[in-house]
Amino acid sequence: MSTRTLQQILRAHPTSDGAGVKLRRSLGQSPGARLDPFLMLDEFSTDNPDDYIAGFPAHPHRGFETVTYMLEGHMQHEDHLGHRGELVGGGAQWMTAGRGIIHSEMPLQENGRMHGFQLWINLPAREKLKPAAYRDVRPEEIASVALEGGGHARVIAGRIDSQTVSVEGPIQGLSTAPLFADVKLPAGACFTQAIEATHNAFVYVYEGELEVGATGNQRRLAAHEAGLLSTGACIAVAAGALGARFILLAARPLREPVVQYGPFVMNTREEIEQAIVDYQNGELTKEHSASLLSSRS
Ligand code: CO
């Protein structure tokens, strides 16, 4: 089985988004720093309320999916479709912006630690204008699997196999077939996982460090670094002396042009201009507002 090699390291840069939330951005820090279909990965991790209290007030998206995964903290999501979800430690939300969604994510805590991730996954051209959708994933819906080499993996999307058991995440059936797992390894533990050979994959270390690749061909990946992997049938990593916690992401690449303007990600400049006009005219979400009203009446 061909083991994927670590091809490129993207060190996360400090930045801020929303109304001033401090975060670290690895994928998405520049237009070249993407891994099809993954557009962006942000990690927010702080004990200081000033870094998160302003939250992410109402803002639009079109053309892709946003995934928020919380390790610690308490946030509230609200959107124009009337969804209201509370994000707590260990939970996630999977939002398909599609044609358009306007949402906010605001902290429900005034102090304490906030730690989590936001991931943007592109949609294929034929799905960019599909109806918006929102899925709240409670912590207990995310199965955890014990790994042979020690540690465990929580599976948000796709499937993780150990020798004795396969565990599927609550998110399935998307056309990019994403794998999203949160893995914790004790010091020195090894972890290997088969991944669809043609899918793009990366790991993002958020605690400790990893050696990535087959024995004899390893490269070190430190905390707050995203490691973009070659193609190959499996991934092999080993935790450093302090252990490691990381997220593992893989998905089917779209191989389509990407034109991004802030929260809109389309295939052409004209489609971006249309998204801006639609947003200014209140049409970004119009179809859904109308259908929502009719389904409620
Ligand atoms: Co958003």
Instruction: Give me ligand 1 centre to Cα 201, in Å.
Output: 23
Instruction: Give me ligand 1 centre to Cα 122, in Å.
Output: 14
Instruction: Give me ligand 1 centre to Cα 190, in Å.
Output: 35
CATH class of 6-251: mainly beta
How much is the pLDDT for 222? 98
Residue 126 is classified by DSSP as G
Residue 283 tokens read as: 């049409």
Instruction: Give me ligand 1 centre to Cα 198, in Å.
Output: 29
How much is the pLDDT for 45? 93
Please state, in angstroms and rounded to a whole number, the distance separating the CA atoms of residues 253 and 250. Answer: 9
Instruction: Give me ligand 1 centre to Cα 202, in Å.
Output: 22
Inter-residue contact 27 to 265 (CB < 8 Å): no
How much is the pLDDT for 165? 86
How much is the pLDDT for 287? 65
How much is the pLDDT for 164? 83
Where is pLDDT greater, at 218 or 293? 218
CA distances 261 to 105, 268, 272, Å, are 20, 11, 7
Mean pLDDT for the stretch of residues 149-155? 95
pLDDT of 137 above 90 = yes
Instruction: Give me ligand 1 centre to Cα 64, in Å.
Output: 11
Residue 131 is classified by DSSP as P
Chain CA centroid to CA 176, Å: 13
Contacts of 113 by beta carbon, 8 Å cutoff, 6+ apart: 46, 47, 72, 73
pTM of the prediction?
Answer: 0.94
Instruction: Give me ligand 1 centre to Cα 266, in Å.
Output: 16
Residue matched to tokens 């020195």 = 188
User: 183-195 pLDDT, tens per residue?
Assistant: 999 999 999 999 9
Mean pLDDT for the stretch of residues 156-167? 90
Residue matched to tokens 């893989």 = 250
pLDDT of 1 above 80 = no
Mean pLDDT for the stretch of residues 172-193? 97
Q: Strand order of the sheet with strand 56-61?
A: 56-61, 101-107, 74-79, 84-88
Please state, in angstroms and rounded to a whole number, the distance separating the CA atoms of residues 242 and 237. Answer: 14
Mean pLDDT for the stretch of residues 86-94? 96
Q: What percent of the chain has pLDDT over 90?
A: 92
Q: Any idea where the domains of the chain sit in the sequence?
A: 6-251
How much is the pLDDT for 161? 87
Measure the CA dihedral 194/195/198/202, to 10°.
-130
Inter-residue contact 72 to 114 (CB < 8 Å): yes
How much is the pLDDT for 295? 43
Instruction: Give me ligand 1 centre to Cα 85, in Å.
Output: 14
User: 258-291 pLDDT, tens per residue?
Assistant: 999 999 999 999 999 999 999 999 999 886 444 4
Residues in the chain: 297
Work out the number of other CB atoms within 10 angstroms of the CB of residue 112.
12
Tell me the three state secondary structure of residue 192.
strand
Please state, in angstroms and rounded to a whole number, the distance separating the CA atoms of residues 268 and 27. Answer: 21
Q: What stretch of H or E contains 269?
A: helix 269-280
User: 6-44 pLDDT, tens per residue?
Assistant: 999 999 999 999 999 999 999 999 999 999 999 999 999
Mean pLDDT for the stretch of residues 216-242? 97
Instruction: Give me ligand 1 centre to Cα 250, in Å.
Output: 22
Inter-residue contact 75 to 105 (CB < 8 Å): yes
